[in-house]
Amino acid sequence: MADAVASQTIFDGERLAIMKFTNISDGTGEVAVTKVDVSALLPNLFGRPCVGVTIVNLHSMVSNMGVDLYWDATADVLITTIPQNTQYSMDLTCFGGFWNNAGAGKTGDVQFSTRNASAGNTYMITLEMVKSYAP
């Protein structure tokens, strides 16, 4: 079996994208699973594709497992860690948000990995992101 996961695009506009992710674990967990595929987000009004996002708000409820968020690259870069058994909101707008500081091979995508997942563990994470486009 595999974890029961779902990804939902709540809003995908010219400037913002809001997405919600859920997981009910069977104990398998997730390792570097792409959750935000920027190439799947809508292009801007000029037809330029989305090539990256900046995370400006993060809301989460995590039960009995941790979740690590990464920027996808040749060597993935940790964005943040959400500890087990937490419920909180992070407003990152005061400093501009978490922007992609990955180096070689960066794709702009966001990946999730779970830690210490056991059967019945869950998470719900919502990301509000500002989109950036190809020049």
Chain segment 4-56, per-residue pLDDT in tens = 999 999 999 999 999 999 999 999 999 999 999 999 999 999 999 999 999 99
What digits encode the pLDDT tens for the residues 87-129? 989 999 999 999 999 999 999 999 999 999 999 999 999 999 9
The CATH number of whichever domain residue 37 belongs to comes to: 2.60.120.1330
Q: Which domain holds residue 36?
A: 4-133
Sign of the torsion formed by the C-alpha atoms of 4, 87, 79 and 27: negative
Q: What is the pLDDT of residue 22?
A: 98
What digits encode the pLDDT tens for the residues 51-70? 999 999 999 999 999 999 99
Q: What is the pLDDT of residue 109?
A: 98
The three-state secondary structure class of 47 is coil
E strand map for 1-135: 4-12, 16-26, 33-36, 50-63, 66-71, 77-82, 86-91, 110-115, 119-133
Q: What is the pLDDT of residue 1?
A: 64
> How many domains does the chain divide into?
1
Give the burial class of 59: count Cβ atoms within 10 A of its Cβ; 0-12 exposed, 13-18 middle, 19 or more buried. Answer: middle
Instruction: List CB contacts of 94: < 8 A, sequence separation 6 or more.
Output: none
Query: Read out DSSP for 59-94?
Result: EEEEESSEEEEEE-SSS-EEEEEE-SSEEEEEE-GG
How many C-beta neighbours within 10 Å does residue 69 have? 24
Residue 2 has pLDDT above 90, yes or no: no
